[in-house]
Amino acid sequence: MLLDVVKYGHPVLRKKGEKIGVVTPEIKKLAADMLETMHAAKGIGLAAQQVGLGLQLAVIDVREATDRPSTLTVKGQPVEVNDFMPLVLINPELKPGDQPAAGTEGCLSFPEIFAEIVRPESVDVVALNGKGERIEFHCGGLLARVVQHETDHLHGILFIDRMSRETKAELKPQLDELQAATKATLKQ
Ligand code: ZN
């Protein structure tokens, strides 16, 4: 089932997600719907806040982004990134590496807005997967960027919070317009 993606200006995007205790059939259905919604929108990541829910659940699929490499290591062994996709992350905990990398990011809650964001190039992740099993992995490149972007969402943090002051100033007219449009629809 396709879900509505909320846009910048909706207060739920600033909501810190509650941890998920048990991965119930309802949570599995939600994850499946979020994946369907993300794929339909040609996105590579989607967080529960973006479909209006303050939960620690995000979905990721970087298979389509063939021009931006990702790396993935499980138990110290490099594994095929695509074999791990799509990825459901529940209650993710991150330990970022100390090497920064700049890269372009967009967000389904900010249509047509793109910006260069600096984040750690790699990250260690502990989470539950869509079946409620504990998973641990180390990732780099685009996958590390998406994992961090989505985990930020789960804590009410948006990519505009990670932009340089100059970039945010440049985008201000578009951001203000989007925020006002969202608020206008909320009032209806
Ligand atoms: Zn986003």
**Concatenated DSSP letters of 123-170:** EEEEEE-TTS-EEEEEEEHHHHHHHHHHHHHHTT--GGGGS-HHHHHH
Considering the candidates 105, 150, 166, 177, report the single residue annotated as catalytic. 150
Would you call 150 a catalytic residue per the annotation? yes
pLDDT digits 0-9 by tens, 55-109: 999 999 999 998 999 999 999 999 999 999 999 999 999 999 999 999 999 999 9
Phi (first) and psi of residue 96, to 5 degrees: -75, 150
Q: How far is ligand 1, taken at its centre, from the CA of residue 188, in Å?
A: 25
% of the chain with per-residue pLDDT over 70: 100
Q: How big is the CA angle at 128 (ends 145 and 153), to the nearest 5 degrees?
A: 40
pLDDT of residue 44: 97
Domain boundaries defined on the chain: 11-187
Q: How far is ligand 1, taken at its centre, from the CA of residue 61, in Å?
A: 13
Q: Which CATH number fits domain 11-187: 3.40.50.10490, 3.40.50.300, 3.90.45.10, 3.40.50.1220?
A: 3.90.45.10
Q: How far is ligand 1, taken at its centre, from the CA of residue 110, in Å?
A: 8
pLDDT of residue 43: 97
Q: How far is ligand 1, taken at its centre, from the CA of residue 169, in Å?
A: 19
